[in-house]
Structure 1
Amino acid sequence: MSFTPGTSTDSEITTSVLSDSLPSADTNGGVGLSDPATASQRRAMLDLTNRLRNTGVQRDIDLPMIAVIGNQSAGKSSLIESISGITLPHSQGTCTRCPTECKLTQADTPWTCVVKLHFITDERGSPIKATNITFGDAIFNKAHVEERIRRAQRAILNPNTDYKKLVEGHQVTSGANEASFSRNYVSLEISGRELADLSFVDLPGLIASVGCAGDANDIDLVKNLVTSYIEKPSCLILLTVACETDFENQGAHHLAKQHDPKGKRTVGVLTKPDRIPQGEEESWIRLIRNEVEPLDNNWYCVKQPSSHDISLGINWVDARNMEKQFFATKKPWSGLDSHLRRFLGTGRLTERLSAILAESIARRLPEIQDELQMIILQTRDDLGELPLAPSKNPVGEINRILKGFTRELSELLKGTPDEEGLVQTIRSHAEVFKREVYATAPNFMPWEQRDSLRHPKLSPAKFLSNEENVDTEDEDANDEPGPRPSVTLRGHTIYIDEVMRRAQNGRTRELPDYYPFVVQADYILTIVNKWQEPADELFEVVNSIIRERVWNMVEKHFAHVGKGGVKQAVLMIVYDYLDEAADRTKEKIDWLLQVERAPATLNTHYYTDYRDKFLAHYRGCREADNNTMSNFRNLATDWHKAETVNKALSSLKELGISVEVDDLARLLPSDPLEVALGIMASVRGYFQVAYKRFVDMVPLAIDYEMVRGMERGLDEALLEGLQLTGEDAHERCAAMLQEPTAISSKRQELSKKLERLCAARTELKRLSI
């Protein structure tokens, strides 16, 4: 009998340990990890644990199990073989380099063995989706099992080799393998009438050192593999220690103590008691007495057949009889007290393991149910956080997403009752544009430049306060309530004598009392040219705002679609469409500027009204400076000259001219700069007409072409740009919806996990006590 490391699923170990019964002396079967007196309730729980393990939920929840560990050549495999009755490969190499899972099932059918390969990692050791491969046909002859297992183990260690070649016919050599050790494992599913339900895990033996041709990394690889099992709180550690090696030099004991320092879930097993050096028996007997390295479940000792016995073809029944005879006749074992003799022999060990495992299952079941519910909720939450899975109707899904995008974009462009809505944001910049344009108004002064120090500022035009929403330093609107931003006229101060000089210099063949319109036109052209900059600034800021809002909306609707390509494609199409709208808008703005460079208006009443008001305003300022009217009024109140004034008024009355004191100023000579006053009033009045027209038309053009214009025809542009029509539309839409590999893998992982958890919960519901 030679023994190989193997692995088993937790629930199968659980069920089999509690359900198997010790075979009779004439049965060539395994002892089994079960108690014949196990109650039906215990059996039901064991079966449940086995079913839970079949769902694969042990990857998510700590299920009670037994893991057999030990150093290489510690007799661990022999112990497993004595429990199961299965003959494993005898040769060294593969049999100790990959786990073997053994599932024994009692069934009223002929003896059958099915070998499977379980791959849970790739050749680099990275986790993969679990894959189960049936390795050959079912075996009905026990003599063929050993060779099949050897070939299966070879397939595990050589994952890049076609496993079919190794099933039958292909020679299995002892040459180098692709992997020295593997977490992937061989699974044996054995059923028969003489079997008891049983599962067990035999982990590879721990390595202390490697030879010249060995890989030092194998030491940690095996240690990590063993640790991954025994670190779980519900794992029962079956620790094998060979009596032929110094106890302190056996690393398996140190590893078990590291993860179970108080010895509450470790069962110690001494093997090869026949190889204890003479005189050293007492040190091992002290372990059986639990005097050193005490364990809650004590230390046991078993005796397996020697290599010579195996070579003679000893069967399982004879092996068990020889074990009994050894402990009954060989000192110091035969001299132990009766209460210590229950720790000797494979049968007694398996009975104890059965009881321990059953108790562990009974304690864990209520906790498992709570943990399952909690993990199911968490897994569903994790799935809910992932983007929606690709639709089975990709064309319909893409169109649905596009319609949602264009619908929300349309609402954005039309305007929403939101303080930070697009229209509201643009309006604030339009107000800035209006103030900037108004600031280009000509800064006329109705005084000559030589009087600039005496008249640094023009008095406010009160008639503007009731109709303008902008304030200036020279045309104050203090009469209008509410705070408003102050606007400074940007143009240099233009004095009346400069206007007069330009009017005189502009005359060609006109009559002496006529002056050319070119003077007004030049002033107006200079003003209009200043409107280019604020118009361009408004255009740029609106373009930037729309781009930002569009980007945010594309991000909202398409960021989680597919692998990101749809988002980029939509963004490029929308930006191209926006660029076209921006080009049209810029053309409209340039056109409006060109139109304004040629002064004209049919709004005659509006222009005339402002011209007359500004003319009166400028005249009033000059008259106030000359103090003419004040002088006449003073004459009327001065008693020294009042008689003279009255005589003048009486004389004019006799001539049929009825006048008042205030009318006497009209008898004075006319203002020599009256022509300049008229030009100033004409230009300033026309500015009011043109500026109001321009500050309306530019925002309207931007709104029509670049804001609302984005909505017109965008649906067609998206359909055409994304190529959502035609024979290949389905394939293209499916490709667009294909999610990133990381998300797809995560979704698959969580879905499989949820499936396992729900299956386990279903099994829990079937438990009837």
Structure 2
Amino acid sequence: MSPDVCDLTLIDLPGIARVPVPGQPEDIENQIKSLITKFIEKQETINLVVVPCNTDIATTEALKMAQEVDPEGRRTIAILTKPDLIDRGTEKNILDIVHNKVIPLHKGYTMVKCRGQQQIDEKIPLEEATQIERDFFQNHDHFRCLLNEDKATIKCLAVKLTQNLVDHIKKSLPQLTEQIKTQLWEVKNELKECEAGPPLDTKGAKQFLIKILTRFNGQIYSLSSGELINAENLFVQLRAEFKKWNDHLNSTKTSFCSLKEFCQNYRGRELLGFSNYRGFEMVLQEHVAKLKKPAIELLIAIKGTITQFVLIPKYPFNQVLFPLYFFI
């Protein structure tokens, strides 16, 4: 933070770990890649890919991920670091990369030389480190030309990022404005139904509530029966729960052996082949009592499904239980 630097918002994403160290999950690589993709795929972001000069840029995983979400390279800026560690004789190859001849990027490449660990340990201030960096490029036989082309030093990078950020905001604003207008229009249409609000008198409020609940039940029924075709088909969700219920019923069928034994021991004047109604009722009640718990679990599961897919996003009265029980 300083009054002498450009304003930038920077999200520092972690490097890709291949092998988990003690204390890290086994799928640490997939987790990190998923986290990186979550940010770099957004069209509002500018992706900064940091690549050391002493590595093969064609095999850089970070640049590959950036190309997958930005194939034309319009949101990607590559930053080449550690120019003092390259092997002699490879300077021309590095210059070809900076001049966009190897892997073209619309926003190009910038080379920087950050403070080394020894300079950090010696607490060399940023101002002095910036001058050391400039002197390095000024005295380098091959990279001196990058200063005149504004493709080297951290100061040049900061100015370039600021300009790119401003240009990107200007480009993204019309699209963001259209998205806001669309959402605002949808919300206003939903609010039209509530402009008058509920009546203040008891009789009118009761009729208002009945009207809303009736319409709500109708929409729930349409969704549950598959009459409304949408991405969140409630019928598919409920069908899975009712299948579990049907499987449970099939697996708990009673053989009514106890009823036969009851009839033999307590049969009255009924003819052979006819069971006593009280005995049949007793056995049936015992069986139905065993189904009470799974039936309640089914009810809770259906309520959760309806709440998740229908009530929460669309209806403010998602705590009303009457429509749920009415539907069941």
TM range (shorter): 0.5 to 0.7
CA distance in 2, matches of 1:323, 1:224: 35
Q: Which residue of 1 aligns with 2:44?
A: 234
From 556, 561, 564, give the equivalent of 2:214.
556
Equivalent of residue 293 in structure 1, options 103, 113, 120? 103
Instruction: State the partner residue of 2:75.
Output: 265
Matches within 5 A, 1:33-432: 33=6, 197-211=7-21, 213-334=23-144, 336=145, 339-340=148-149, 342-381=150-189, 396=202, 400-401=206-207
Shift of 1:278: 3.3
Q: Give the number of aligned pairs.
A: 228
Q: Matches of 1:241 and 1:364 in 2, distance apart?
A: 27
Shift of residue 317 of structure 1?
A: 1.0
Q: C-alpha distance in 2, partners of 1:376/1:210?
A: 46
Pick aligned residue for 2:5 from 20, 32, 36:
32
The 8 Å contact of residues 240 and 268 in structure 1, kept in 2 or not, is answered as: yes
For residues 65 and 119 of structure 2, the distance between their equivalents in structure 1, rounded to whole angstroms, comes to 32
Letter in 1 for 2:55: T
- Give the drift of 1:255: 0.6
Q: CA 1:402 to 1:320, structure 2 compared with 1: closer, same or farther past 3 Å? A: closer
* C-alpha distance 403-304 of structure 1, shift in aligned 2 (>3 A): closer
Q: Distance in 2 between matches of 1:392 and 1:221?
A: 53
> Residues 505-516 of structure 1: matches in 2 within 5 Å?
none
Q: CA deviation at 1:219?
A: 1.7
Give the partner amino acid of 2:5. Answer: G
Q: Per the alignment, do residues 367 and 247 of structure 1 end up closer, same or farther by CA in structure 2, a change over 3 Å counting?
A: closer
Query: Residue 285 of structure 1: CA displacement?
Result: 1.8
1:32 alignment partner AA: V
Q: Give the partner amino acid of 1:400.
A: K
Separation (CA, whole Å) in 2 of partners of 1:199 and 1:251: 24
Residues 315 and 231 (structure 1 numbering): CA distance in 2 closer, same or farther, change over 3 Å? Answer: same
Relative distance call for 1:376 and 1:402 in structure 2 (3 A) is closer
**1:374–1:244: structure 2 CA closer, same or farther, 3 Å change rule?**
same
Contact 1:239 1:266 in 2 (8 A): yes
Superposition TM-score, scaled by structure 2 size: 0.58
CA distance in 1, matches of 2:171, 2:2: 31
How many Å separate the matches in 1 of 2:127 and 2:209? 78
Q: Tell which has more relative contact order, 1 or 2 (C-alpha 8 A, sep 6+).
A: 1
Contact 1:324/1:345 (8 A) holds in 2:
yes
Amino acid at match of 2:178: D
**Percent same amino acid at aligned positions?**
24
Q: Which residue of 2 aligns with 1:520?
A: none
| 1:366-416 superposed Cα distances (whole Å, 9 cap, x missing partner) | 33322211122234456779x99x9798x94896149968xxxxxxxxxxx
Aligned partner letter, 2:36: V
Cα displacement (A) at 1:264: 1.9
The 1:30–1:402 alpha-carbon spacing in structure 2 relative to 1, beyond 3 Å, is closer
Going from structure 1 to structure 2, the CA distance change for 1:228 and 1:384 (only over 3 Å counts) comes to farther
For the residue of structure 1 that corresponds to 2:68, the secondary structure is helix
Alpha-carbon displacement from aligned partner over 1:269-327 (angstroms, at most 9, x marks no partner): 10122222333333222111211112122110011111111111111111111111111
- Kindly tell me: are residues 392 and 215 of structure 1, through their superposed partners in 2, closer, same or farther at Cα, counting changes over 3 Å? farther
Q: CA deviation at 1:557?
A: 6.8
Kept in 2: contact 1:240–1:269 (CA 8 A): yes
SS of the equivalent of 1:270 reads strand
Q: Which residues of 2 match residues 514-663 of structure 1 at below 5 A?
A: 556=214, 559=217
- Aligned residue in 2 for 1:746: 313
Contact 2:133–2:153 (8 Å) recurs in 1: yes
* Mapped partners of 1:295, 1:225: distance in 2: 23
Give the Cα–Cα distance (whole angstroms) in 2 for the partners of residues 392 and 226 of structure 1.
51
Q: CA deviation at 1:559?
A: 3.2
Q: Contact between 1:383 and 1:747, CA under 8 Å: does it hold in 2? A: no
Secondary structure of the 2:54 match is coil
Determine the C-alpha separation between the residues in 2 that align with 1:337 and 1:320.
Answer: 16
Alpha-carbon deviation of 1:233?
Answer: 2.5
* 1:6-26 superposed Cα distances (whole Å, 9 cap, x missing partner): xxxxxxxxxxxxxxxxxxxxx
Cα distance in 2 between the residues matched to 1:558 and 1:297: 53
CA contact (8 A) 2:198 2:208 kept: no
Q: Which residue of 1 aligns with 2:252?
A: none
- Residues 316-356 of structure 1 deviation map (CA, whole Å, 9 limit, x = unaligned): 1111111111111234323x36643x100011112122222
* CA distance in 2: counterparts of 1:391 and 1:372, whole angstroms: 29
Once residues 326 and 289 of structure 1 are traced to their aligned partners in structure 2, the CA distance between those partners, rounded to angstroms, is 19
Instruction: Quote the Cα distance in structure 2 between the aligned partners of 1:236 and 1:247.
Output: 19
Q: Which one-letter code corresponds to 1:235 in the other structure?
A: T
- Once the 2 structures are TM-superposed, how far is the Cα of residue 258 of structure 1 from its aligned partner? 1.0
Shift in alpha-carbon separation, 1:391–1:305, aligned structure 2, 3 A: farther
Distance 1:356 1:365, change over 3 A: same
